[in-house]
Amino acid sequence: MGTVSITGVSKVYGGAQGVRALEHVDVSLAEGEFMALLGPSGCGKSTLLNILAGFEAQTDGVITFDGKSVRKPGPDRGVVFQEAALMPWLTVWQNVIFGPQVQGVAKADYEPRAREIIRVVGLEGFMEALPVQLSGGMRQRVGIARALVMQPKALLMDEPFGALDAQTRLSMQQLLLDVWQTFKTTVLFVTHDIDEAIILADRVCVMAARPGRIIRDIPITLPRPRSINDLLTSEFLGFKGQIMAEMRGAH
Amino acid sequence: MSSLVSERRAGPGRIFGGLALPRLGATLLALILPVALVVLWQISGTNGSIFGGALPTPDRVWEAWLKWAFGASSMGLNPYSGTWLESVVFSTIRVAKGFAIAILIGVPLGICIGWSRMVAKVLDPTIQWLRPVPITAWLPISIAIFGIADFGSIFLITIGAFYPIVINTTHGTRDVERNWIRAALMMGASPFTVLRRVVLPAALPSIFTGLRIGLGIAWTAVIVSEMVAVKSGLGYVLWDAYYVGRMDIVIADMVSIGLLGYLSDWLIVRVEHFVLRWRRLQSFNA
């Protein structure tokens, strides 16, 4: 479960003469695979994520999730947004249980799970806080918990750590590595940070802009479980050198 | 709504920021102007009147007010004696009813217009086109339909309060952060749940702006309508007292209207502060 197949997907904004955000993208994700979409801003990586999430419609092509055509958003694809996008009037706890609540899941079913996930992402003691009282990193923990509590088949993460400071970003990357090790969900992770893409993903798809397309698909064979200390290994640096060369070549 | 935030930042309380009694300081500052005006008005009068007898001085107004409020009912000599509370209650109930109807129609309608482009295309032009018609222009129609009756007044209040409520609700709904809606849909919320649990709370700050403006117009509407279309309430007394030359009652009536408007606005602000606690925190942190 959680397989993604994207075939010949194009996206044009603003009519026939408009911006070609994506042009004929073919890519697929296997169950439990962690894929990073890496590219400069404006290369269409977020557009691709939004189409898979069901927020936007493609102009052309076919996109399926577990064999079914994607038409609208749903709890099988948990999205983690760039700025967390929490409801500011709800507490951490209320934000986390929003999904199961609106789906009409029984309290006895989701409450233990929500508590467990809150513990895993390190939010114990903040259940009654409002988002505005939290730091950026803490908010993003809520964003991840809110997605995980729905037991999604895939996580779609749109530059979730892009707005965080370097130190917080490292600890969030470690957190995500641990969380993924536990839940093993399919992940599509959009980023413009080469280090982040390599340390997290099984595969890095490098994108280029104008028109947005995937130019390289690089398997990352660093052993699992990983930690952010792997950023210092020569293997890591080997992948980084390779990807940097690819990205230079694309310009 | 930014006005509330800026009030907090640059409000009179801040001048006394270092002192222990900022509230008292703010109250004292607020009282300087009205007290000065009343004193000036009092000392420029002679024998209890100014402008050659056209208007009474504050002490006479105060006396008339006391009698109006607490005097024994005596239909013959002073028809106003002891009827103040009755008039206040009549006007207040009308405002409450008309305002409540305006909220019940204006908020859902504003959400629909802000949410659906189709509904906006159908309704918005008509609303924008009817909006410049002042409530006074509705008086003849109101009397023609409802006669000299309570509902004519309530009808005018509803019309007056409706426009700012519906327009601010529309704006609030349109400006809802797109990713909040996307997040809710992603979590499996139905469109109706999104409206109720995301759009409505997110639009509340704008809705409250509309409510405050609407309530102010509701008080204007009740006075205007009572002057013409009903035979009770503060507006009726205002016009009646003018006809019989009781300018002391006219002025006491005006002050009463001001106080009631101020009190009802204060009440809404209290409710707003309670409902939008999350937002107050936000503006302090920002």
Distance from CA of B183 to the nearest CA of A (A): 7
A202 within a domain of the structure (yes/no): yes
Q: What's the structural domain count of chain A?
A: 2
Q: A88 and B183: CB-CB below 8 Å?
A: no
Secondary structure class of A62 (helix, strand, coil)? strand
In chain A, what residues touch B282 (CB-CB under 8 Å)?
88, 132
Give the number of other Cβ atoms within 10 Å of residue B40's Cβ: 11
A81 within a domain of the structure (yes/no): no
Average pLDDT over residues B12-27: 61
A60 and A102 together in one domain = no
Of the ranges A142-146, B133-137, B275-279, which one carries the lowest mean pLDDT score?
B275-279
A173 and A126 together in one domain = no
B175 and B57 together in one domain = no
B7 or A182, greater pLDDT: A182
Q: Tens of pLDDT along A107-132?
A: 999 999 999 999 999 999 999 999 99
B75 or B222, greater pLDDT: B222
A197 or B3, greater pLDDT: A197
B41 and B148 together in one domain = no
CATH number of B191's domain: 1.10.3720.10
The pLDDT value recorded for residue B277 is 86
Average pLDDT over residues B88-111: 97
What domain range is B265 assigned to?
Answer: 84-285
In chain A, what residues touch B189 (CB-CB under 8 Å)?
98, 102
A66 and A163 together in one domain = yes
The pLDDT value recorded for residue A2 is 86
B189 closest CB neighbour out of A79, A102, A133: A102
B70 within a domain of the structure (yes/no): no
A147 and A169 together in one domain = no
A28 within a domain of the structure (yes/no): yes
In chain B, what residues touch A73 (CB-CB under 8 Å)?
182, 185-186
Q: B281 and A133: CB-CB below 8 Å?
A: yes
In chain B, what residues touch A146 (CB-CB under 8 Å)?
183, 187
Of the ranges A23-32, A51-60, A164-173, B273-282, which one carries the lowest mean pLDDT score?
B273-282
B195 and B143 together in one domain = yes
A54 and A168 together in one domain = yes
A129 touches chain B (CB under 8 A): no
B93 and B36 together in one domain = no
Of the ranges A51-65, A132-146, B21-35, B223-237, which one carries the lowest mean pLDDT score?
B21-35
Please give the ipTM for the structure prediction. 0.94
pLDDT reading at B285 higher than 80: no
A217 within a domain of the structure (yes/no): yes
Q: A81 and B279: CB-CB below 8 Å?
A: no
pLDDT reading at A45 higher than 60: yes
A77 touches chain B (CB under 8 A): yes
A235 within a domain of the structure (yes/no): yes
Q: A87 and B187: CB-CB below 8 Å?
A: no
pLDDT reading at B8 higher than 70: no
A147 and A173 together in one domain = no
Average pLDDT, chain A: 94
CA nearest to B238, candidates B94, B83, B95 = B83
In chain B, what residues touch A132 (CB-CB under 8 Å)?
278, 281-282, 285
A160 and A138 together in one domain = no
A221 and A98 together in one domain = no
B115 and B247 together in one domain = yes
B145 touches chain A (CB under 8 A): no
- What is the rounded CA–CA span in Å between residue A167 and residue B79? 78
Max CA separation in chain A (angstroms): 55
The pLDDT value recorded for residue B14 is 46
Average pLDDT over residues A131-155: 95
Whether A217 and A27 have beta carbons less than 8 Å apart is answered as yes
B175 touches chain A (CB under 8 A): no
A232 within a domain of the structure (yes/no): yes
A171 and A234 together in one domain = yes
Chain B CA closest to residue A77: B186
A244 touches chain B (CB under 8 A): no
Q: Tens of pLDDT along B157-215?
A: 999 999 999 999 999 999 999 999 999 999 999 999 999 999 999 999 999 999 999 99
B21 and B109 together in one domain = no
Average pLDDT, chain B: 88
Distance from CA of A241 to the nearest CA of B (A): 35
The pLDDT value recorded for residue B47 is 78
A160 and A69 together in one domain = yes
B184 touches chain A (CB under 8 A): yes
Here the tokens at position B226 are 């009572």
Percent residues over pLDDT 90 in chain B = 74
The pLDDT value recorded for residue A249 is 74
The pLDDT value recorded for residue B281 is 74
pLDDT band at B148 (very low <50, low <70, confident <90, very high): confident
In chain A, what residues touch B188 (CB-CB under 8 Å)?
74-75, 99, 102-103, 150
B265 within a domain of the structure (yes/no): yes
A223 and A108 together in one domain = no
B279 touches chain A (CB under 8 A): yes
B48 and B189 together in one domain = no
The pLDDT value recorded for residue B282 is 66
The pLDDT value recorded for residue A250 is 67
CATH number of A66's domain: 3.40.50.300
Whether A173 and A185 have beta carbons less than 8 Å apart is answered as no
Instruction: Give the count of Cβ contacts less than 8 A between chain A and B.
Output: 72
pLDDT reading at A243 higher than 90: yes
Pick the residue of B187, B282, B285 with the most A CBs within 10 A to test the interface with A by mutation: B187
B208 or B79, greater pLDDT: B208
DSSP string, A71-117: -S--TTEEEE-TT----TTS-HHHHHTHHHHHHT--HHHHHHHHHHH
Q: A79 and B182: CB-CB below 8 Å?
A: yes
Q: Tens of pLDDT along A94-104?
A: 999 999 999 99
User: Which of A112, A130, A151 finishes a domain?
Assistant: A151
Whether A90 and A142 have beta carbons less than 8 Å apart is answered as no
The pLDDT value recorded for residue B16 is 44
B263 within a domain of the structure (yes/no): yes
In chain B, what residues touch A98 (CB-CB under 8 Å)?
184, 187, 189, 197
Whether A51 and A58 have beta carbons less than 8 Å apart is answered as yes
B14 and B104 together in one domain = no
A119 or B21, greater pLDDT: A119
What domain range is A192 assigned to?
Answer: 4-76+156-249
B69 within a domain of the structure (yes/no): no
Of the ranges A9-18, A158-167, B46-55, B242-251, which one carries the lowest mean pLDDT score?
B46-55
B232 within a domain of the structure (yes/no): yes
A226 within a domain of the structure (yes/no): yes
A53 touches chain B (CB under 8 A): yes
Q: Vertex A125, ends A124 and A128: CA angle to 5°?
A: 110
A82 within a domain of the structure (yes/no): no
User: Which of A130, A151, A172 finishes a domain?
Assistant: A151
pLDDT reading at B5 higher than 80: no
B278 closest CB neighbour out of A81, A89, A150: A89
Average pLDDT over residues A68-76: 95
Of the ranges A203-207, A229-233, B68-72, which one carries the lowest mean pLDDT score?
B68-72
In chain B, what residues touch A78 (CB-CB under 8 Å)?
186
B149 and B279 together in one domain = yes
The pLDDT value recorded for residue B31 is 92
B71 within a domain of the structure (yes/no): no
A145 touches chain B (CB under 8 A): no
A141 touches chain B (CB under 8 A): no
B101 and B191 together in one domain = yes
pLDDT reading at B96 higher than 60: yes
Q: What's the structural domain count of chain B?
A: 2
B189 and B248 together in one domain = yes
B92 within a domain of the structure (yes/no): yes
Q: A79 and B186: CB-CB below 8 Å?
A: yes
Percent residues over pLDDT 90 in chain A = 89
Q: Vertex B170, ends B165 and B173: CA angle to 5°?
A: 120
Secondary structure letter of residue B72 according to DSSP:
P
User: Which of A151, A172, A197 finishes a domain?
Assistant: A151
Chain A CA closest to residue B196: A102
A166 and A126 together in one domain = no
DSSP string, B152-193: HHHHHHHHHHHHHHHHHHHHHHHTS-HHHHHHHHHTT--HHH
